[in-house]
A and B are shown apart, each in its own frame.
Chain A
Amino acid sequence: MTKKKLVIIGNGMAPGRMLEDLFDLAPDAYDVTIFNAEPRVNYNRLMLSPVLSGEKTYQDIITHDDDWYAEHDVTLHKAAMVRDIDRNAKVVRSETGIEASYDKLLIATGSDPIVIPLPGHDLEGVVTYRDLDDVELMLSAAKTKNRAVVIGGGLLGLEAAAGLKEQGMAVTVLHLAPTLMERQLDEAAGHLLERAFEDRDIKVLTKANTHEIIGKDGKVAAVKLDDGTELEADLVCMAVGIRPSTHLAAEAGLDCGRGILVDDLMQTNDPDILALGECVEHRGLCYGLVAPLYEMATVIAKNLAGDSASYSGSVTATKLKVTGVDLYSAGDFAEAADREEIVLRDATGGVYKRLVLKDNKIIGAVLYGETSDGPWFFDLLKKQTDISEMRETLIFGQAYQGSEPLDPMAAVAALPGDAEICGCNGVCKSKITDAITDKGLTNLDEVRAHTKASSSCGTCTGLVEQLMSLTLGDAYNPNAITPMCGCTDLGHSDVRRLIKAKGLKSIPEVMQALEWRTGSGCAKCRPALNYYLVCDWPDEYADDYQSRFINERVHANIQKDGTYSIVPRMWGGQTSSKELRAIADAVDKFNIPTVKVTGGQRIDMLGIKKEDLPAVWADLGKAGFVSGHAYAKGLRTVKTCVGTDWCRFGTQDSTGLGVRIEKFMWGSWTPAKVKMAVSGCPRNCAEATCKDVGVICVDSGFELHFAGAAGLDIKGTEILGHVKTEDEALEHIVAVVQMYREQGHYLERIYKWAKRIGYDEVRRQIMDDAEKRKAYYDRFVFSQKFAQIDPWDERVSGKDKHEFQPMATLSLEAAE
């Protein structure tokens, strides 16, 4: 049977969910092709605000990575905006010229942010808030600019304002209506919210109508209001609303109102074309929150899989994701003659709750300051429960129903099985508790993976944790230290301490003494234990190679096809004609397919067959090369600039110091990789201020830096201190690395370790306590005696020969 072709336009949250559901129901029914205007995979748009505020990174919010598309055989065209749909030929075409024909087409183009066509709206520095590009623009602006004006005091505007504030900008929010978030909040809550923002030093101007954006040299300079007020600004974020993106559908002749019109099966007026997400209009409504979109997604997935399902609309609830502000609203809360209301105010506690009732049923709820009853009220609202019986105590929440006040845990326990816990993903209580018991889940990440609860905006995390405590009892303690892995309850710090205290000197000994639950550990704890033992007992412990990852076992980097890459050391990034010639000869002799200059100032040879490694190393060894440890949780590179040798600005011999550090420290194992750099002057051409340890040479000596990062996280270094001579620089650097070696958790980079124990503590021990510093230095020097043996040379001489050769070669005839 040939598969039907499903083409999807737009790769947002709604179609992402639809595909997950579809692959669960009918993994092989469709050949899926996606076109996405954004140049990336699917990510959790809700979490852009935590990325903007710095609480998360883009990596943290990816929903489907490239591997996911590969696993499901989905073709994803990134950065490929679809320009037209040919309904007769059943073909869509992107502006980049890619065509795809379809049996079923799903339009999921989301919404476009509204840009008010004010004078100046197209100046540099005016941004909207919709996708990762917008966030990146704002983040980079925040680095160099000071003042931001956010136009729009709705959910997005406020999240943007809070994020920009976190990034250190002075922020003003302009809002047209008299109170903030007037669509979700009543006046009283709007005022409380305004106060909460002003408490964080974010200025809020309501009834503020923007007149124009004033520019200077093509860039934003100020925002002018109708009343003549002028606010200086170097960044303007327009967050005034969204408009369903219907352009493409309308051009193709599909019926559109405010959104693309769909029936209860989510079909447009062309039966082969479905629409999903924020771009649709269903029964007169367009939605701007994910929960209803996910419901639509499930309906579509079921229908595509051959079941039948229909969508009949949703009721939505909103939460604001600004750390420290608790806000929940649902339903309709306008005042009207036939409505009654119940209000609770607790001024000192900053709590405000209002329920709007009609015919003894809840039709709207606004909670501010204390929102834990939100899901319960929302449940009563959705089910249209008659509340006359509990009217007197209703506003106090679920805990006060029945005879005695309940504690919060009991309140969660009392929720019915079908009560919604995670609004974003529509996950109810019983689904979570069932998954915990049936699948034996024990931590939050597992619950997220299996149920999706708490995996979108995260505001229900507390509730989910309460459910876990209820279901698991004492077995669940969210505050407990994270164990190293499933083999033990001990955390890394405890294990390190006990290894020293009990004098444990081998992996089996550690496992025995610390009561490991497994016979021989796992791939998480074994490498960690091996490192701790190597570090703590350099002279006594025999390194257990079977507990090292393959790269560290064979001293090369495994590649996706099972071949290896090798990177020899080029001290401080310097090389010579002799070295380059040796590399060239090896490349020719062993047919090495790729030679590449790395980001670490040296040369990588990729695609070498495992059997050839010892021979390649033998040839390189003759030219004086040793392993560059490009695979190691150990010292990687020391980048340098040319310094006083050549540069007209150089203040010290940065190349010389870099080479000296690398020669002194190579071969040492560390909790995670260590990268260093030495720059000859503050122009910093060696990028020393984003390294684990960096040096900036200055006229008066050396400025020492530590705890930078430029990988998964980007973080500028902290200053360790200033020293006058090269010898002092080396001693301090070695000492700080040894301190990290002794205290770091396995796989924890210096910046994470330093943050955990405190930058000041590091400075105190390394800069201020000469005795401590000297002791660290001496311990490092001692351990180097056992570490500075070139692993390539050892293997050329025959060590671990078995690693590089098959045990036997069989021809199939032999099997007859």
Chain B
Amino acid sequence: MNAVTGTWIKVGELADIPKQGARCIDAGELTIAIFRGANDEVFALEDKCPHKNGPLSQGIVHDGCVTCPLHNWVISLATGEAQGADEGATRSFDVKIDNGAVLLNANGLS
């Protein structure tokens, strides 16, 4: 439905991302991490932990969250918010799968 609006950009194939893993999109200043969950759900977050900018794309993905590789904060993939006693949030972006292609909503990008 949204595909026709032109704000969704194809950034790769679902198959390019390992299950329970992530790949990065370079968008100039911004690096966006696209995560793929155990059941092929996808999420997009800025690749920067709200704690000390750790690259979230390098973390372990589990149950809708990613654990940051630097100091183990747990970040929700859906909202970008830190879980548990930690506080902070990372930017999240809309992303979806269409026929195996990963589409990122460009509206949030600038």
Contact = CB atoms under 8 A, between A and B. Distances in A.
Interface of A: 67, 70, 449-450, 518-523, 526-527, 545-551, 553-554, 558, 560, 562, 802, 806-812, 814-816
A558 B24 contact: no
B20 interface: yes
B67 A523 contact: yes
A522 B62 contact: yes
Interface of B: 7, 9, 11-12, 16-21, 23-28, 31, 34, 37-38, 52-55, 58-63, 65, 67, 69-72, 74, 85, 102, 106, 109-110
B70 A546 contact: no
B18 to A, nearest CB: 6
A809 B26 contact: yes
Contacts of B54: 562
B28 A812 contact: yes
Nearest to A553: B58
Contact of B109 (A547, A548, A815): A815
Contacts of A806: 23-26, 31
Given A802-B18, A807-B16, A519 B60 contact: no
Given A550-B69, A807-B23, A814 B62 contact: no
A527 B17 CA distance: 20
B27 to A, nearest CB: 4
Contacts of A547: 20, 60
A329 B43 CA distance: 59
Contact of A560 (B17, B59, B70): B70
B37 to A, nearest CB: 8
Contacts of A815: 7, 9, 27, 106, 109-110
A449 B84 CA distance: 12
A527 B25 contact: no
A814 B9 contact: yes
Given A521-B63, A807-B34, 9 more contacts: A518-B62, A520-B62, A550-B59, A562-B58, A802-B17, A808-B26, A810-B26, A812-B109, A815-B110
B72 A523 contact: yes
A811 B38 CA distance: 30
Contacts of A560: 52, 70
Contacts of B65: 522
Given A546-B21, A807-B11, A807-B12, A523 B59 contact: yes
A519 B63 CA distance: 6
Contact of B60 (A449, A549, A554): A549
Contacts of A554: 58
A810 B38 CA distance: 27
B19 A546 contact: yes
A547 B31 CA distance: 23
Contacts of B16: 802, 807
A71 B50 CA distance: 11
A171 B67 CA distance: 50
Contacts of B7: 815
Contacts of A808: 11-12, 25-26
Contacts of B70: 558, 560
A521 B66 CA distance: 11
19 contacts: A70-B52, A520-B20, A521-B62, A522-B62, A522-B65, A522-B67, A523-B59, A550-B69, A562-B55, A562-B58, A802-B16, A802-B18, A807-B11, A807-B34, A808-B11, A810-B109, A814-B106, A815-B27, A816-B106
A554 B21 CA distance: 13
A233 B22 CA distance: 64
Contact of A523 (B12, B21, B38, B60): B60
Contacts of A816: 106
Contact of B69 (A67, A519, A522, A549): A549
B25 A807 contact: yes
B74 to A, nearest CB: 7
B58 A558 contact: yes
B19 to A, nearest CB: 7
Given A522-B67, A562-B54, A810 B27 contact: yes
Contacts of A809: 25-27
Contacts of A527: 60
Contact of B71 (A67, A520, A548, A807): A67
Q: Which 10 A-B pairs have CB atoms at the shortest separation, nearest pair first?
A: A523-B67, A815-B106, A807-B23, A550-B58, A546-B20, A807-B12, A523-B60, A809-B26, A810-B27, A550-B69
Nearest to A521: B62
Given A550-B59, A558-B69, A807 B109 contact: no
Contact of B62 (A523, A553, A807): A523
B63 A812 contact: no
Contacts of B62: 518, 520-523, 526
Contacts of B109: 810, 812, 815
Nearest to A812: B28
Nearest to A545: B18
Contacts of A519: 38, 63
A206 B12 CA distance: 82
A814 B103 CA distance: 13
A586 B34 CA distance: 32
Contacts of B61: 520, 546
A807 B21 contact: no
B44 to A, nearest CB: 11
A546 B67 CA distance: 12
Contacts of A548: 60
Contacts of B28: 810-812
Contacts of B27: 809-812, 815
A568 B6 CA distance: 48
Nearest to A70: B52
Given A550-B58, A808-B11, A520 B26 contact: no
Contacts of B72: 523
A812 B31 CA distance: 12
A231 to B, nearest CB: 51
Contacts of A558: 55, 58, 69-70
A558 B71 CA distance: 11
A443 B92 CA distance: 33
Contacts of A810: 9, 11, 25-28, 109
Contacts of B52: 67, 70, 560
A546 B60 CA distance: 7
Contacts of A545: 18
B32 to A, nearest CB: 8
Nearest to B105: A815
Contacts of B106: 814-816
A518 to B, nearest CB: 5
Considering residues B18, B19, B59, which has the most beta carbons from chain A within 10 angstroms of its beta carbon? B18
A807 B110 contact: no
A788 to B, nearest CB: 25
Nearest to B10: A808
Task: Count chain B CB atoms within 10 A of each CB in A70, A522, A810 and give the residue with the most.
Answer: A810
A177 to B, nearest CB: 47
A612 to B, nearest CB: 15
A530 to B, nearest CB: 10
A387 to B, nearest CB: 42
Nearest to A808: B11
A266 to B, nearest CB: 30
A518 B69 CA distance: 21
**Of A547, A549, A806, A808, most B-chain CB atoms within 10 Å:** A808
Contacts of A802: 16-18, 23
B105 to A, nearest CB: 9
Contacts of A520: 20, 37-38, 61-63
B6 to A, nearest CB: 9
Contact of B63 (A67, A518, A553): A518
